[in-house]
A and B are shown apart, each in its own frame.
Chain A
Amino acid sequence: MADRSQQLALAEGLARQGHVQPAVEACYQALRIDDNEALTHCLLAELMLTGDFYDEAISAASRAIEIDPDCAPAYLALGLSYDRRGGMWDQSILVWHELAEVVPDLVTAHVQLGEAFAAAAFDDEAIDAWRKALELDPAEARAMYNLALAALKKEGMATALPGFRKAGELDPSQDDLFFALAGIFDDGNPAPDPTDVAEDRAARLEAAGALAYEEDFFSAAELIRLVLTENPDDPEALGLTAYLYLKQEAVNEAMACALRALTISTKTPTAVYALGVSFSKRAGLSKNAARVFAALAKAVPNQPMPHVLFAEALLGLQKYGQAAQSYRRAIALDPACVRARFGLAAVLLTEGRHAEAMWEIRRAAYHDTRRQGLFWQLYDSYVEGRS
């Protein structure tokens, strides 16, 4: 027993560090000692899925479920394997259904169930599943992306595009872009108390950025007001203000601050971002938004999100081919960019390329569950539940 645990622990450690091959070897060693350990089979399934060996992943996950029908991480690995392999939608629907029953509050299970239904052309059932996911978590971006795609299929791009933008706002990657542009990074420390901030511009701006990162918009705004009292023509302070207004849905205030910042200095990327987002929220300003996001994409070509935002503006102009190019650029920069993959899927649907669109959705699902660390969350809860 001790040998088995040791091998499994070793496999687990290696898998968590991303050492796939040695982890697989450790799993096989663990299985030679005890073939009836669901965790080992489940871990092996996850590793096989990582290596794109879908049949092996399906076999290992199925064995884990056979040993313990409550092994939630095995359902996740099995469902993802079916989806990635393709053409197994009936099995996929069953698996996601099971997972939703084993872990009823697992939002991703409902999202995945919806995607499996959609792939099998059960559109109404798919919409119900995504709505259920949004009931559990109203900020579930992937359910929103899927609902936008469903709207596209029924009513076209003009109806779907606001859904994509709404989903994009729920997706943390857009905020990440702003903070990257502003040079604000999470250093693990909490934002300072506004009363303790040194009385100089740099300290105040830095603290305001950190507070904005923690979504304490009012404290951030108070600090920026102090910066602007000393110099009302500070473009960085105005750019950050524009972002704070955007987060509070005050689009015109955001636009006014961003435009003022750019009047002072055109080289204020945060203001360019805020201006583009303000434009994209206004019907009829797709052309303006496209111009602004094109400039942003040129200014920071290695960031995927400006390409995504540019692509969405192009969708508003019915320039689907150009939008696809921009989405592809974003995916090349970040293959895990869920928003770009769903956007590209939308463009592919407008071109009648359904199979390719489904492939992009499946890739998005894979990367999204990875980004969330969902397998390990379920794995750890399962281990905890057994002990």
Chain B
Amino acid sequence: MADDAAKLYQAFVSQDPAAAIGVIEKVKRSGTEQGALFDSLFAPAMSLLGGAWASGAIDEYTFTQASVIAEQITSFVTPPATAQDTGITVIVGAMHRDYHAIDKNIVGAALKEAGHRVIDLGVDVRPAEYLERIEETGTRIVIVCASMNATANEVARVREILTTAGLQDVVILVSGGPFEADPELARQVGANGVVRGAESALKLVERIARDRQKAGA
């Protein structure tokens, strides 16, 4: 790998991005994973570059130009900035007559960032709209946000309408202050779990997906 790092360094100072990509492709073909390329190839090459500048082997101009080439090929050696598509679709929405969007926005964005497909129904979502989108998309996970007692109790209507439609297997996760304050409330409204923030949503969705995979669903 040291040889490859030296070649990559050489490509930088020769201002030859094609040669740099060639070195990266060769290392990839030899079995190095994308996630390991930065540490095992790019970082040693950059260290050589820093050393060459420090010793005066290359001048300031070459150092800057080489850094530009390094910039151009960075995306080839870094893990993808966005997570890969997990194939899991999650519907999020705030309950009918509930206009509190912050929790929903944050949870939805976190799931999206983790590679899940998020369908955001917005705020003030009627139970029938959840059903409609579930039927339309085949989604099996729904996160219903409710920040007031009255709207939290109304989540029971979402479960009711899904059951009536024969969609008992849809997992309803609830989020919001009333469910935090009363751990029994989630069960009463027919929810399968309580989301306590973005990280909790990520963990729950992953667990559900894992369980479904195990069950072969």
**In the bound complex, do residue A253 and residue B67 qualify as a contact, i.e. CB atoms below 8 Å apart?**
yes
CB distance from B24 to the nearest CB of A (A): 15
Partner of A256, one of B49, B81, B198, B199: B49
B103 at interface by CB-CB < 8 Å: yes
**In the bound complex, do residue B81 and residue A233 qualify as a contact, i.e. CB atoms below 8 Å apart?**
no
B79 at interface by CB-CB < 8 Å: yes
Q: A253-B63, A318-B199, A320-B199 are in contact. Are A228 and B106 (CB under 8 A)?
A: no
Q: A284-B80, A352-B180 are in contact. Are A155 and B105 (CB under 8 A)?
A: yes
A182 at interface by CB-CB < 8 Å: no
**In the bound complex, do residue A259 and residue B43 qualify as a contact, i.e. CB atoms below 8 Å apart?**
yes
**In the bound complex, do residue A352 and residue B53 qualify as a contact, i.e. CB atoms below 8 Å apart?**
no
**Bound-complex Cα distance A250 to B38 (A):** 19
List, in ascending order, chain A residues with CB within 8 A of B180's CB. 352
Partner of B109, one of A159, A259, A288: A159
**Bound-complex Cα distance A294 to B200 (A):** 23
**In the bound complex, do residue A250 and residue B64 qualify as a contact, i.e. CB atoms below 8 Å apart?**
yes
CB distance from B67 to the nearest CB of A (A): 4
List, in ascending order, chain B residues with CB within 8 A of A260's CB. 47-51, 54
**Bound-complex Cα distance A319 to B55 (A):** 41
Q: A158-B113, A253-B63, A263-B47 are in contact. Are A233 and B54 (CB under 8 A)?
A: yes
**Bound-complex Cα distance A260 to B47 (A):** 4
B156 at interface by CB-CB < 8 Å: no
List, in ascending order, chain A residues with CB within 8 A of B54's CB. 228, 232-234, 237-238, 241, 257, 260
List, in ascending order, chain A residues with CB within 8 A of B68's CB. 252
Partner of B106, one of A152, A233, A234, A262: A152
CB distance from B25 to the nearest CB of A (A): 19
**Bound-complex Cα distance A32 to B67 (A):** 70
**In the bound complex, do residue A352 and residue B63 qualify as a contact, i.e. CB atoms below 8 Å apart?**
no
**In the bound complex, do residue A255 and residue B46 qualify as a contact, i.e. CB atoms below 8 Å apart?**
yes
List, in ascending order, chain B residues with CB within 8 A of A287's CB. 79
**In the bound complex, do residue A320 and residue B198 qualify as a contact, i.e. CB atoms below 8 Å apart?**
yes
CB distance from B201 to the nearest CB of A (A): 9
**In the bound complex, do residue B197 and residue A352 qualify as a contact, i.e. CB atoms below 8 Å apart?**
yes
List, in ascending order, chain B residues with CB within 8 A of A233's CB. 51, 54
**Bound-complex Cα distance A246 to B80 (A):** 24
List, in ascending order, chain A residues with CB within 8 A of B67's CB. 250, 252-253, 256
**Bound-complex Cα distance A374 to B51 (A):** 46
Partner of B50, one of A154, A259, A320, A354: A259
**In the bound complex, do residue B199 and residue A258 qualify as a contact, i.e. CB atoms below 8 Å apart?**
no
Stretch binding the partner chain, chosen from B70-78, B128-136, B165-173, B209-217: B70-78
**Bound-complex Cα distance A287 to B81 (A):** 11
A350 at interface by CB-CB < 8 Å: yes
List, in ascending order, chain B residues with CB within 8 A of A256's CB. 46-47, 49-50, 53, 63, 67, 70
List, in ascending order, chain B residues with CB within 8 A of A229's CB. 56
A156 at interface by CB-CB < 8 Å: yes
**In the bound complex, do residue B55 and residue A156 qualify as a contact, i.e. CB atoms below 8 Å apart?**
no
Partner of A349, one of B53, B80, B106: B106
A137 at interface by CB-CB < 8 Å: no
**In the bound complex, do residue A153 and residue B197 qualify as a contact, i.e. CB atoms below 8 Å apart?**
no
Partner of B113, one of A156, A237, A252: A156
B102 at interface by CB-CB < 8 Å: yes
Q: Which residue from chain A places its CB closest to the CB of B64 in the assembled complex?
A: A253
CB distance from B85 to the nearest CB of A (A): 16
A370 at interface by CB-CB < 8 Å: no
Q: Mark B105-132, 1 if CB is under 8 A from A, else 0.
A: 1101110111000000000000000000
**In the bound complex, do residue B64 and residue A350 qualify as a contact, i.e. CB atoms below 8 Å apart?**
no
CB distance from A324 to the nearest CB of B (A): 10
CB distance from B20 to the nearest CB of A (A): 13
**Bound-complex Cα distance A253 to B51 (A):** 11
List, in ascending order, chain B residues with CB within 8 A of A232's CB. 51, 54-56
* 13 A-B residue pairs with CB within 8 Å: A232-B56, A241-B54, A252-B68, A253-B64, A253-B67, A256-B67, A257-B54, A259-B43, A259-B44, A263-B47, A284-B80, A351-B199, A352-B180
User: Could you list which residues of chain B lie within 8 angstroms of chain A, going by C-beta atoms?
Assistant: 38-39, 43-44, 46-51, 53-56, 63-64, 67-68, 70-71, 74-75, 78-81, 102-103, 105-106, 108-110, 112-114, 175-177, 180, 196-200, 202
Given contacts A228-B56, A261-B50, 10 further A-B contacts (CB under 8 A): A152-B106, A153-B106, A156-B105, A156-B113, A253-B67, A257-B50, A259-B47, A260-B47, A320-B199, A349-B102
